[in-house]
A and B are shown apart, each in its own frame.
Chain A
């Protein structure tokens, strides 16, 4: 924890280079790039996992289903700081998973960009599961039965029928999760701290700017970027799911 706070302070001491009020400084660009990168990677990790979990929750009955359901949605209701703390406990250098990852694969998660990706992935996971699940619940399981009688095995059925029909939900969920991932704050700062260029994403940069004397212009620019990205994400997600659903002709099926 001492490294954590010293890191935080040292980065604050760096302060912000004065820049043209309309243009982003190098640090701000860095934060934006890092945010996009982190959100994208966490999205890529989440896609298959969230799809699989949503499918399990909707189409399968098994012991522990309610528990899986609860776990998948937990980050939605827990304080993000708590999620970050739990990640620290589990994935920290001496945590049960983190220690193992370090020993076996040499993967460090704490204070790294990879750790940032993990924190964002965990936080946005429920958003994706929910969106995919909603679509899947709307897909008639009878279509999969029909595919069975036409000779399609389980994997074949999933890829030829279920997945294409889930696509609107998956894409909508992905865009929402990506937009939310850009702005994830609490879990990130708790788990991987606030290191410029490594873990300082947009919201962390915004927070830092607010804590810095004369950081107002920076904060304003970062706020506008964050706001715009979030809004575009939401609109895009809505538009995507509507367009896709229409193209798939799902409404009348």
Chain B
């Protein structure tokens, strides 16, 4: 378990962050650029000395201002994947990978060179120099290099930020593989909620150097702090469910969510796998009658639990669908026409093609 409670003044900017993350699993630090995420992971790594506070991993104290403890970065055993990969230009990929491994002789060797090379698909790159690699390849090497130093915690500082959309999509499965294969605690810094959705168990939402909210992904997806960051357009409840199997007629995957079934597009699913889906509030449709004669494949029955004004002309309708909750964005006009009210029975409709399910095998949440 990582426990950090640190404080750092940098010019006018005060970064004051406290969180604990359970291990193994991924803790996401989520927030806008410049909200103190990188400052926080720098302090955890030991590259920046906090003004006060403490940092612990399990029983090991890495930093404690009151007791004058400050373990140097090189002795912390914390891996760091930088946004700009920072591969050593004068060394081959193989020697980059071996750099940390050679210096980790005293640690238990849990991560084997061949395993890491295989998982990250680095075999063909070993003899090459970093200068000849693509952005995605460089980040994979950087991740492998950090892993082979046998860290007890891995920090990833927006590892996908420097990549274009396609490369990002290529690298995400590697990160999921990392999470699922090596039971290594990770702190993942991001300002893309989709990455958080796919990878993280626990989310720390940061705003202006402070923790605005924290909790599991499902809870945080409803958080006003998150809404303030992603904006109402990208707002959407995350639901977790269990894969039931492919629907024979449509080929879509069935996921049991609360009392209902959700049909989504997803690949390589096995029945029983835990899934996570985000339903964007603007993509959802409300019906006060059981729907008939519509092309929409998904209809989930539920009860309105809360109505919340979202700007002057729209409302967020929170709906309980038998445990999980959804948020639906409707216009003020629609709310009046349907006379929506708390306690009312409704059906939430969503197009299957607008949903993508993500396999999630981390610890349960929600």
Contact = CB atoms under 8 A, between A and B. Distances in A.
Interface residues of B, number: 30
A161 B88 contact: yes
A156 B72 CA distance: 14
A253 B74 contact: no
A77 to B, nearest CB: 35
Interface string A143-164: 1011111111100100011001
A245 B313 CA distance: 61
B47 A150 contact: no
A249 B73 contact: no
A251 B79 CA distance: 26
A216 interface: no
A148 to B, nearest CB: 4
A150 B78 CA distance: 8
**Interface bin, chain A:** 20 to 34
B146 A251 contact: no
Q: From B74, B90, B130, name the one whose CB has the most chain A CB atoms within 10 angstroms.
A: B90
Contact of B86 (A140, A152, A160, A249): A140
A140 to B, nearest CB: 7
B89 A150 contact: no
Contact of A142 (B84, B100, B145, B149): B84
Best-buried of A146, A148, A153 by chain B (most CB within 10 Å): A146
Contacts of B239: none
Contacts, number: 77
Contact of B131 (A149, A161, A165, A251): A251
A70 interface: no
Contacts of A161: 88
Nearest to A150: B100
Nearest to A139: B89
A160 B104 CA distance: 15
Contacts of B113: none
Nearest to B48: A145
A249 B79 contact: no
Interface string B87-109: 11110000000011001100000
A250 interface: yes
A248 B74 contact: no
A55 to B, nearest CB: 17
Interface of B: 45-47, 72-80, 82, 84, 86-90, 99-100, 103-104, 129-132, 145-146, 149
Interface of A: 140, 142-143, 145-153, 156, 160-161, 164-165, 248-253
14 contacts: A142-B84, A143-B88, A145-B82, A146-B88, A149-B73, A149-B76, A149-B80, A150-B74, A150-B99, A150-B146, A152-B74, A153-B74, A249-B130, A253-B130
Given A145-B82, A253-B87, 12 more contacts: A140-B86, A142-B84, A143-B88, A145-B86, A146-B82, A148-B73, A148-B74, A149-B80, A150-B103, A151-B74, A160-B99, A249-B131
